[in-house]
């Protein structure tokens, strides 16, 4: 029998939500599996909703302040469909999920999480600022822009309207204001718990494991 390995550090709910949101954003940027992204987004949203209830904070995670009134019914129906299918199998075990535009739903969902995160913790990370800007570009007909940003947004659209999302993400690191968001520094922080695992030889990893097992015997 071995003793439980002591914790290296402790993670709070704010950091947990940040990990999920940041990872979903990076996966969106490299066009990773959209269903895996979907679960990350929905998990982040669940944390934020639970925290808001415990703290008595009313969040705009229901999207109503962001979505045009005439588009709300259509949006909510599409947004929850895939999540409900992946969440359980007791009522729909013999049914198939109609796959719709899951990638667009993920983009909308991550913006929802960013909005909730900012309301709960009072700030946006660089990743969150970046995906917010992208969301306003990719679905300008859905989201309302603050009045003081409308003119600036219209001018920016003229320069990038012929880009694809893939091309946009490829060029993003070269844009001055995006480079200033510190995305790579945030990624380094997010992945710091890897330690030196990926740069340690298999021989050394085996020695470490043997040492832990030996010292943990009771």
pLDDT band at 193 (very low <50, low <70, confident <90, very high): very high
Q: What is the C-alpha to C-alpha distance for residues 83 and 189, in angstroms, rounded to an integer?
A: 29
Our count of domains for the chain comes to 1
Residues 108-148 have pLDDT tens digits of 889 889 989 999 999 999 999 999 888 877 876 665 555 55
Q: Is 39 part of any domain? A: yes
- The set of residues, in sequence order, having a beta carbon less than 8 Å from that of 17 and lying 6+ positions away, is 44, 47, 48, 51, 113, 117
Residues 64-111 have pLDDT tens digits of 566 677 777 776 666 666 666 565 544 555 566 556 778 988 898 898
Q: Is 207 part of any domain? A: no
Output the pLDDT for position 135: 81
Q: Is 92 part of any domain? A: yes
Q: Is 63 left (phi over 0), alpha (psi -120 to 50) or beta?
A: left
> Residue 9 has which token pair?
């550090």
What pTM does this model have?
A: 0.79
> Residue 205 has which token pair?
């990893």
Q: Is 150 part of any domain? A: yes
Q: Is 196 part of any domain? A: no
Output the pLDDT for position 218: 40
């Amino acid at each position: 029998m071995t003793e439980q390995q002591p914790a290296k550090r402790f993670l709070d709910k704010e950091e947990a939500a940040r990990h999920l949101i940041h990872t979903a954003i990076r996966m969106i940027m490299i066009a990773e599996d959209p269903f895996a992204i979907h679960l990350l987004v929905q998990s982040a949203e669940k944390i934020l909703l639970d925290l808001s209830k415990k703290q008595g904070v009313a969040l705009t995670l229901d999207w109503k302040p962001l979505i045009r009134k005439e588009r709300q019914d259509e949006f909510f129906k599409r947004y929850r469909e895939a999540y409900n299918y992946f969440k359980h199998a007791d009522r729909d075990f013999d049914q198939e999920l109609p796959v719709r535009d899951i990638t667009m739903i993920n983009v909308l969902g991550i913006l929802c999480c960013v909005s909730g995160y900012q309301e709960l913790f009072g700030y946006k990370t660089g990743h969150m600022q970046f995906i917010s800007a992208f969301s306003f570009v990719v679905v300008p007909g859905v989201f309302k822009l603050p009045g003081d940003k409308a003119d600036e947004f219209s001018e920016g659209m003229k320069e990038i309207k012929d880009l694809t999302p893939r091309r946009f993400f490829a060029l993003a690191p070269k844009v001055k204001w995006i480079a200033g968001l510190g995305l790579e520094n945030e990624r380094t922080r997010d992945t710091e718990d890897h330690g030196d695992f990926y740069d340690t030889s298999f021989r050394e990893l085996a020695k470490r494991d043997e040492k832990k097992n030996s010292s943990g015997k009771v």
